Amino acid sequence: MMRIILADDHKVVRNGIRLLLETQPDINIVAEAESGEEVLALLSNNSEVDILLTDMNMNGIGGSELMRAMCTSFPDIKVVFLSMIDSDQEVKEVMSLGAKAYMLKNADYDELLFALSHVGKGGQYLSSEISIRMLQSLGSKQVKPEPEQVLRDLDLSSREYDVLQLLVNGFTTKDIAEKLFISKRTVEGHRQKLLDKTTSKNYVELIRFAINHQLID
């Protein structure tokens, strides 16, 4: 059971998130707060909390200051930010301070649940939109080989190349199957071949490879 404090200074937002999360049998919303100060006061009286799910920009202390206070006073509580603030600098700052996840409020319900579950098991998570943008920024700062030579070396088929383009642009297996008029199993086969040919261990490494080698249209 994940015991969560939900913090957001908009009651309508809190109510909506609570309704969604309470449908999960392994999640318990133990308290709500509308400011960082209220979060710290709640935790001073009850530290039996696993995760703080909080907005970045609330009345009173900001996200970075709250994160510092959490690290000092409640280091065992995992902090997950769910915010409208889409600034790489601020994301990097709170993650460097010890936050376990950062998601944008336009994330869908399934992604939020996955992030909470992943953090609950000891992992870290960045929303897919932020991850792809940061990887693109990283790739733009590196010396890149000629993409034509990379494609020849990889020996990608035209279909594999199409699948790669769609994957990097955030399309799901189902979306790709519908766009290319092929089965989901065929898409999964192409994905595995792309991982094998690029020697990527996972999807994030595959995206990084594509960006670094300028294989994106």
Closest to 167 in 3D by CA, of 152, 187, 142, 193? 187
The residue ranges of the chain whose pLDDT is under 70 are 47, 135-145, 217
DSSP the chain: -EEEEEE-S-HHHHHHHHHHHTTSTTEEEEEEESBHHHHHHHHHH----SEEEE-SS-BSS-HHHHHHHHHHH-TTSEEEEEES---HHHHHHHHHTT-SEEEETTS-HHHHHHHHHHHHTT--EE-HHHHHHHHHHHHHTS----HHHHHHHHT--HHHHHHHHHHHTT--HHHHHHHHT--HHHHHHHHHHHHHHTT-SSHHHHHHHHHHTT---
* Cα 146 from Cα 169, distance rounded (Å): 21
pTM over 0.85: no
Q: Which residues pair with 33 in a beta bridge?
A: 7
* Cα 194 from Cα 154, distance rounded (Å): 9
Burial degree of 201 (CB within 10 A; 0-12, 13-18, 19+): exposed
Confidence at residue 139, expressed as pLDDT on a 0 to 100 scale: 52
Confidence at residue 118, expressed as pLDDT on a 0 to 100 scale: 87
Q: For residue range 82-136, list pLDDT tens digits in order.
A: 999 888 888 889 999 999 999 988 888 888 888 898 899 888 888 877 877 776 6
* Cα 154 from Cα 92, distance rounded (Å): 33
